[in-house]
């Protein structure tokens, strides 16, 4: 992954001698490790990546994923695998591989304090600097291999989005529906979910980050399903909203307004556009409807090796969109005590606008009870 190392180094100022990424124990794994070394499977707890200014990467892997590591490195002449046991062996090898490098860049946003304390101790000559902004800037635009993985993750999410209406029946619980969705994602090739699946029935839909429970589906309920697949470590993020049984005229109109808000946001996407304009395009639609003020979150965020991949946008984010960014567009309207509607898609910013990654139908769907 020489090109990715070079991309991170381009954003680093001043230039360090090396960039060191260290994983702790799951879930404290820095996904930047997998950005620099695109191994599709394996846990890599305690592993270290040392990326040098010339684009070469040393990977310290435990014996637990050595085979996956060796396999992935076969396709990349710039990656060298070192299989080590935890603890002292790792420290001695890091000392050796860092060698004469004095100025080390670290990912302050992800490195655990324990790792930092160890590094200070066993690399007494080194100076450390924060690489987290450079890493974020490098990771926010995707290369073709990343887009291919994201597309597959989005295809899986979209396929399940199409299946959800057939899973709805009176009395199913939120957790049961979430389990069915996750099972289907794995059947389609996902290695897991990209975050805790949200299934919200009725009034629960008014809380964007609701956690599903034992509530049973009843006629007249709105349904918000927000979920995503992990495919070769890349995360999709899709939300579809449905209605079950007895019609609710207000929620039907709410859905139409959210569709319109999403279309307005999508039309604002192009390289060079201020990110806040995408948010504001959606907000203007919602704020000129009867549901003014009911958009209660930023309209999107970048996706990648994690579902919230380090960058998001709202009415105050001046950053400009760049070609190759993979982002969500997810306006919603939330009505406490009643229900909610959110429509979320994943797109890639292209030369002239955007391209959808997620493809499941977005229009209002009433499922008979
Ligand atoms: N899945 C949480 C979100 O859409 O940001
Ligand atoms: Mn999202
Ligand atoms: Mn989501």
- Residue 237 Cα to ligand 1 midpoint, Å, equals 7
Q: Best substitution site from 239, 295, 302, 326 to test ligand 1's pocket, by max atoms within 8 Å of Cβ?
A: 239
Q: Is residue 101's pLDDT more than 90?
A: no
Percent share of the chain, pLDDT over 70 = 99
Range(s) within the chain of domains with CATH label 3.90.230.10: 144-367
CATH number at 144-367: 3.90.230.10
Residue 195 Cβ inside 6 Å of ligand 1? The answer reads yes
pLDDT digits (tens, 9 = 90+) for 135-191: 999 999 999 999 999 999 999 999 999 999 999 999 999 999 999 999 999 999 999
Give the per-residue SS3 of the chain: CHHHHHHHHHHCCCCCCEEEEECCCCCCCCCHHHHHCCCCCCCCCCCEEEEECCCCEEEEECHHHHHHHHHHHHCCCCEEEEECCCCHHHHHHHHHHHCCCCEEEECCCCCCHHHHHHHHHHCCCCEEEECHHHHHHHHHECCHHHHHHHHHHHHHHHHHHHHHHHHCCCCCEHHHHHHHHHHHHHHCCCCEECCCCEEEEHHHHHCCCCCCCCCECCCCCEEEEEECEEECCEECCEEEEEEECCCCHHHHHHHHHHHHHHHHHHHCCCCCCEHHHHHHHHHHHHHCCCCCCCCCCCCEEECCCCCCCCCEECCCCCCECCCCEEEEECCEEEECCCEEEECEEEEEECCCCEEECCCCCCCCCEECC
Q: Please report the pLDDT score of residue 86 as a whole number.
A: 73
Q: Is residue 100's pLDDT more than 90?
A: no
Per the prediction, the chain carries an average pLDDT of 96
CB-hemisphere CA count at 13 Å for 41?
8
Whether 28 contacts 113, CB under 8 Å: no
pTM: 0.95
Closest ligand 1 atom to residue 342 Cα is 4
Q: Is residue 108's pLDDT more than 90?
A: yes
User: What average pLDDT does this structure show over 107-115?
Assistant: 98
User: What average pLDDT does this structure show over 326-330?
Assistant: 98
Q: How confident is the model at residue 287 (pLDDT cuts 50, 70, 90)?
A: very high
The CATH H-level (homologous superfamily) assignment of domain 2-139 is Creatinase/prolidase N-terminal domain (3.40.350.10)
pLDDT digits (tens, 9 = 90+) for 210-232: 999 999 999 999 999 999 999 99
The environment of the single-atom ion ligand 3, i.e. residues with CB closer than 5 A, is 226, 237, 344
Question: Which one of the ligands is nearest to 210 CA?
Answer: 1
Q: How confident is the model at residue 268 (pLDDT cuts 50, 70, 90)?
A: very high
Residue 330 Cβ inside 6 Å of ligand 1? The answer reads yes
- Residue 127 Cα to ligand 2 midpoint, Å, equals 37
Residue 345 Cβ inside 6 Å of ligand 1? The answer reads no
User: What average pLDDT does this structure show over 1-11?
Assistant: 95
pLDDT digits (tens, 9 = 90+) for 35-77: 999 999 999 999 999 999 999 999 999 999 999 999 999 989 9
Q: Please report the pLDDT score of residue 332 as a whole number.
A: 98
Range(s) within the chain of domains with CATH label 3.40.350.10: 2-139
């Amino acid at each position: 992954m020489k090109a990715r190392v070079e991309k991170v180094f381009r954003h680093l100022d001043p230039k360090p001698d090396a960039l060191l990424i260290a994983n702790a124990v799951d879930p404290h794994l820095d996904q930047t490790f997998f950005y620099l070394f695109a191994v599709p499977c394996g846990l890599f707890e305690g592993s270290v990546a040392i990326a040098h200014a010339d684009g070469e990467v040393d990977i310290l892997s435990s014996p637990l994923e050595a085979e996956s590591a060796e396999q992935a490195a076969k396709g990349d002449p710039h990656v060298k695998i070192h299989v080590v046991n935890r603890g002292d062996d790792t420290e001695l090898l890091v000392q050796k591989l860092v060698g004469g490098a004095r100025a080390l860049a670290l990912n302050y946003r992800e490195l655990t304090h324990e790792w930092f304390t160890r590094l200070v101790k066993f690399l007494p000559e080194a100076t450390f600097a924060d690489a987290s902004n450079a890493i974020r800037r490098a990771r926010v635009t995707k290369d073709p291999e990343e887009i291919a993985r994201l597309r597959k993750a989005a295809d899986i999410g979209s396929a399940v989005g199409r299946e959800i209406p057939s899973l709805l029946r009176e009395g199913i619980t939120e957790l049961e529906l979430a389990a069915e969705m996750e099972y289907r994602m794995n059947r389609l090739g996902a290695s897991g979910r990209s975050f805790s699946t949200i299934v919200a029935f009725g009034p629960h839909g008014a809380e964007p980050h609701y956690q599903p429970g034992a509530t049973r589906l009843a006629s007249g309920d709105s349904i918000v399903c927000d979920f995503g697949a992990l495919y070769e470590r890349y995360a999709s993020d899709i939300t579809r909203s449905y209605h079950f049984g007895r019609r609710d005229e207000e929620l039907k109109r709410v859905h139409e307004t959210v569709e319109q808000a999403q279309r307005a946001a999508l039309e604002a996407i192009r390289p060079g556009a201020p990110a806040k304009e995408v948010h504001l395009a959606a907000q203007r639609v919602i704020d000129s409807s009867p549901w003014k003020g009911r958009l209660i979150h930023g309209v999107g965020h970048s996706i990648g090796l994690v579902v919230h991949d380090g960058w998001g946008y709202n009415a105050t984010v001046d950053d400009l969109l760049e070609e190759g960014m993979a982002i969500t567009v997810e306006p919603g309207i939330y009505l406490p005590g009643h229900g909610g509607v959110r429509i979320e898609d994943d797109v890639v910013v292209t030369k002239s606008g955007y391209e959808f990654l997620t493809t499941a139908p977005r229009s209002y769907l009433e499922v008979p009870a």
